[in-house]
């Protein structure tokens, strides 16, 4: 294995949810890292409270969804409906969670290529359902994380809703964090974008000694095809 690819894979070994949030989602929002991190911790803390309030660890993710008022959890296969560029989706008008099996396959085959079976198919499905349950709760409560983040002075973006949904799923289901689903997908399908993301985040954190998101200069993205296993 090349040294650089090995470094990238190390992101999978000790995943830090806050670092991954900045790398994958918050990097492109305006504002200083310090301000974005303050809003991120605030949103994550709210999502963790919801997890304690609503999630029953003795029941499956689908069981939780149904108990919380989701009408149906449906797996969509490619022949059934056009596959959306999502792994999962919450349709608020139908109170339905849809899981797109083709996109699940893509994540599973990407992690197979890294040689790191981070998520089994059932675990991945549970995690995606937990993420969508959070969007269902946002709808039910009429409280959306983009507004919450904006109330803390952060740039308004739908990204905050996914930050909350991942924090909720991580609090409900533990390690490894949901953010790895997107990281693994990018390692295979968008290595150039991931490489750029790492450089941009490094540039944003550079020279800021008190930065709440420590730079990881050694990490470089390489297409997985180049790794020797
Ligand atoms: Zn989401």
CA distance 147 to 187: 31
Give the pLDDT confidence score for residue 212 in this predicted structure: 73
Give the pLDDT confidence score for residue 104 in this predicted structure: 92
Q: Which residues keep their CB under 5 angstroms from ion ligand 1? A: 162, 165
Please state the pTM of the whole predicted model: 0.89
Nearest to 145 by CA among 133, 160, 157: 160
Count of domains for the chain: 1
Give the pLDDT confidence score for residue 170 in this predicted structure: 97
Give the pLDDT confidence score for residue 224 in this predicted structure: 58
Give the pLDDT confidence score for residue 7 in this predicted structure: 62
Tell me, in angstroms, the distance from the centre of ligand 1 to residue 38's CA.
21
125 phi and psi angles, rounded to 5 deg: -60, -45
Tell me, in angstroms, the distance from the centre of ligand 1 to residue 92's CA.
12
HEC secondary structure over the chain: CCHHHHHHHHHHHCCCHHHHHHHHCHHHCCCCHHHHHHHHHHHHHHHHHHHHHHCCCCCCHHHHHHHCCCCEEEEECCCCCCCCCCCEEEECCCCEEEEEHHHHHHHHHHHHHHCCCCCCHHHHHHHHHHHHHHHHHHHHHCCCHHHHHHHCCCCCCCHHHHHHHHHHHHHHHCCCCCHHHHHHHHHHHCHHHHHHHHHHHHHHHCCCCCCCCCCCCCCCCCCHHHCCC
Nearest to 90 by CA among 118, 61, 114, 112: 61
CA distance 29 to 156: 9
Per-residue pLDDT of the chain (229 residues; tens, 9 = 90+): 344 555 677 788 878 899 999 999 999 999 889 999 999 999 999 999 999 999 999 999 999 999 999 999 999 887 776 656 689 999 999 999 999 999 999 999 999 998 888 999 999 999 999 999 999 999 999 999 999 999 999 999 999 999 999 999 999 999 899 999 999 999 888 888 998 998 888 888 877 767 777 656 455 555 555 444 4
Residue 127 lies in domain: 3-226
Q: For CA atoms 86, 131, 16, 34, give the dihedral sign.
A: positive
Tell me, in angstroms, the distance from the centre of ligand 1 to residue 2's CA.
34
Tell me, in angstroms, the distance from the centre of ligand 1 to residue 159's CA.
8
CA distance 128 to 73: 11
């Amino acid at each position: 294995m090349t040294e650089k690819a090995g470094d990238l894979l190390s992101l999978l070994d000790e995943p830090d949810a806050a670092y991954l949030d900045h790398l994958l989602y918050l990097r492109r929002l305006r504002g200083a890292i310090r301000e974005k991190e303050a809003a991120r911790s605030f949103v994550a803390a709210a999502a963790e409270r919801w997890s304690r309030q609503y999630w029953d660890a003795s029941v499956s993710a689908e069981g939780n969804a149904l108990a919380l008022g989701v009408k149906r959890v449906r797996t969509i296969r490619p022949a059934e409906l056009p596959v959306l560029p999502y792994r999962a989706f919450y349709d608020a008008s139908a109170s339905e969670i849809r899981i797109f099996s083709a996109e699940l396959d893509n994540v599973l085959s990407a992690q197979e290529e890294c040689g790191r079976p981070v998520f089994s198919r059932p675990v991945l499905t549970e995690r995606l359902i937990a993420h969508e349950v959070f969007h269902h709760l946002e709808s039910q409560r009429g409280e959306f994380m983009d507004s919450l983040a904006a109330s803390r002075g952060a740039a308004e973006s739908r990204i905050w809703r996914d930050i909350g949904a991942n924090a909720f799923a991580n609090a409900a289901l533990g390690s490894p964090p949901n953010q790895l689903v997107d990281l693994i997908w990018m390692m295979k399908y968008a290595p150039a974008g991931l490489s750029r993301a790492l450089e941009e985040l490094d540039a944003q954190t550079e020279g800021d000694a008190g930065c709440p998101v420590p730079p990881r200069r050694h990490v470089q993205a390489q297409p997985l095809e180049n790794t020797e296993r």
